[in-house]
Chain A
Amino acid sequence: MDGIHDLGGLQGFGRIDVDEPEEAFHAPWEGRMFGMARCMARPADWNIDWFRHCRELIDPADYLTRPYYDQWMQAYSAMLVNSGVATVEEIATGKSTYRPKKVPPAPPPESFRTGRAGYTRYDRPGAADPAFRPGDIVRTKAHGIPGHTRLPRYVRGHRGVIVASHGPHVFPDAHAVGEDRAEPLYTVGFAASDLWPEVTHRDRVFLDLWESYLDRE
Chain B
Amino acid sequence: MVDHDSRAVRHIHDELHSHLPAEPALRVKALESLLIEKGLVDPRTVDAWVEGYSEEIGPKRGARMVARAWVDPAFRELLLSDAAEAAAQFGFDGTGISHLTAHENTDDVHHLVVCTLCSCYPQGVLGIPPTWYKMAAYRARAVREPRGVLEEFGVRLSDEVEVQVWDSTAELRHMVVPQRPADTEGWSEERLAKLVTRNSMIGTDRDLSRMVKEAT
Residue numbers of A with Cβ under 8 A of B are: 1, 5-11, 13-18, 20, 22-29, 31-36, 38-43, 45-46, 48, 50, 52-55, 57-59, 62, 64, 66-70, 73-74, 76-79, 81-86, 88-96, 99-100, 103, 105-109, 111-112, 116-117, 119-123, 146-147, 150-152, 154, 166, 169-170, 172, 176-178, 185, 187, 192, 195-196, 201-210
Contacts and interface: CB of A to CB of B under 8 A. Distances in A.
Contacts of B8: 82
Interface SS majority for chain A: loop
A62 B34 contact: no
Interface in B1-55: 1-6, 8-10, 12-17, 19-21, 24-25, 27-42, 44-50, 52-54
Given A94-B33, A202-B162, A68 B16 contact: no
Given A22-B130, A31-B53, 10 more contacts: A29-B29, A50-B4, A52-B117, A64-B136, A88-B12, A92-B20, A95-B33, A111-B45, A150-B170, A206-B166
B57 to A, nearest CB: 9
B159 interface: yes
Contacts of B17: 59, 62, 74
Contacts of A55: 118
A122 B97 contact: no
A52 B130 CA distance: 19
Given A94-B31, A147-B6, A39 B49 contact: yes
Q: Which of A32, A81, A119 has the most CB of B within 10 A?
A: A32
